[in-house]
Structure 1
Amino acid sequence: MKFTSLLILSSLLIFSVGCSPEAAQQPASDTTSPSAETEAEPEIAAEPEAAESAEATTKSGTFVPGEAPTEGTVQVVTENGESYLELDESFKTSDQGPDLFVILHRSDDVLATTEPPAYPLEEGDYVILGPLEEFTGAQRYPIPAEVNLDDYQSAVIWCRQFNATFGVAKLEG
């Protein structure tokens, strides 16, 4: 009886060690060079794809506060022919505003061309990219293909409900 239990326990132990991730990876490190050549081929094939999907930053800026504390940097990147507005991981704005949006504005000095404390915007001077996803952290917003980036000089965090500008980043580059 004890021998049978010991045999079953030993078998289970051998089986579990044989199926562990470390054991499964170990034989791969002992492979011959033809297998290593096979692994190199996908990397070579992936290089042209990586070159095609490379990002190019065209404009960037740093947020300054308007009606609410807003900080961080923003950049316009082009990837595979598509443009995006990216807020970096240091982005932060007030969580006190309802209805916050990320927009592009025509003015290169939004705060100087509007009136405090709300810094209201006029229709036609901006294009809405989308609702603000998070009050902090990295985020990415697609820029519609029909938007001519040369016409827009600033990225803005804007409260649509109260027409209040929370923060602005002048885009340069």
Structure 2
Amino acid sequence: MKIRKLLRHPATWVVAAFAAVAFGVALYLFQPWRLFTTVEVNEAVPVVADAPPSTTGQQGGQDASDAPSAPARKPKTVAAGTFISHEHETRGRAKVLELADGSRVLRIENLNTSDGPDLRVWLSDQPVKEGTAGWFNLDDGEHLELGNLKGNKGNANYAIPADADLDSLKTVTIWCKRFSVSFGAAALTPDTAA
């Protein structure tokens, strides 16, 4: 009888409604199903063809549309680093590639990390720190968002704006914007073989 009376009380319904809303908000924020999801991406290394020599139809009878296309040159690695784990186990390699046209791309290879809500790829001027000390420091100074993380496993390319200062932005991080925490990060060091 007491249970029936309790279920009919208005306060019980208010508490139940509040609990249902809180549960819905928690599901939205934490997205726990993402612990069991994988988004795999496998983008090719970007290449840009050299511009063919300019010809006109009046000189030599050949116009630019008939000219053979120039071969694509392999991009040059100018900096690279290996990911370390922060909030979630993260493995893989990050490279800054310079393409034949002078543009730059961040290439993440063999990435293996957890999926999560609102994951971004950032360049930061803060140093990579191991352990929990590195979880939160990468948004303390200057950072540049390159876009949403395309997949938590595999290989992906992210365009780097031409005005990005790679002399100061020497860290790449997989950043969870919703919780302001790094999943993993890599210190980018100049490639001396380049």
Shorter-chain TM-score bucket reads 0.5 to 0.7
The one-letter code sitting in structure 1 at the alignment partner of 2:183 is F
Equivalent in the alignment of 1:50: 72
Q: Could you tell me which of 108, 120, 126 is aligned with 1:87?
A: 108
Report the Cα offset of residue 92 of structure 1.
1.0
Separation of aligned partners in 1, 2:142 and 2:90: 21
Identity of aligned residues (%): 33
Q: Could you tell me which of 107, 116, 119 is aligned with 2:136?
A: 119
Report the Cα offset of residue 146 of structure 1.
1.3
Report the Cα offset of residue 153 of structure 1.
1.0
Q: Could you tell me which of 90, 93, 115 is aligned with 1:73?
A: 93
| Structure with the bigger percentage of helix | 1
Q: State the TM-score, normalized to the length of structure 2.
A: 0.58
Q: Could you tell me which of 122, 144, 155 is aligned with 2:172?
A: 155
Q: State the Cα deviation string for residues 62-100 of structure 1 (Å, max 9, x = none).
A: 000011111011100011211000011x111111x2110
Tell me if the contact between 1:121 and 1:163 (Cα under 8 Å) persists in the aligned partners.
Answer: no
Query: Which structure 2 residue ranges, 5 or more long, are not aligned?
Result: 1-66
The one-letter code sitting in structure 2 at the alignment partner of 1:98 is P
Change in 2 beyond 3 A, CA 1:120/1:161: farther
Separation of aligned partners in 2, 1:86 and 1:121: 19
Separation of aligned partners in 2, 1:169 and 1:66: 11
Tell me if the contact between 2:128 and 2:134 (Cα under 8 Å) persists in the aligned partners.
Answer: no
Q: 1:1-173 to 2 correspondence within 5 Å?
A: 45-46=68-69, 48-51=70-73, 54-79=74-99, 80-88=101-109, 90-95=110-115, 97-107=116-126, 109-111=127-129, 116=133, 118-122=135-139, 124-173=141-190
Tell me if the contact between 1:85 and 1:141 (Cα under 8 Å) persists in the aligned partners.
Answer: yes
Q: State the TM-score, normalized to the length of structure 1.
A: 0.64
Tell me if the contact between 1:158 and 1:165 (Cα under 8 Å) persists in the aligned partners.
Answer: yes
Equivalent in the alignment of 2:49: none
Separation of aligned partners in 2, 1:123 and 1:99: 19
Separation of aligned partners in 2, 1:117 and 1:148: 22
Separation of aligned partners in 2, 1:120 and 1:149: 19
Equivalent in the alignment of 2:25: none
Change in 2 beyond 3 A, CA 1:120/1:148: closer
User: What SS class does the counterpart of residue 183 from structure 2 fall into?
Assistant: strand
Separation of aligned partners in 1, 2:134 and 2:144: 22
Tell me if the contact between 2:146 and 2:159 (Cα under 8 Å) persists in the aligned partners.
Answer: yes
Report the Cα offset of residue 148 of structure 1.
1.3
Change in 2 beyond 3 A, CA 1:117/1:127: closer
Equivalent in the alignment of 2:4: none
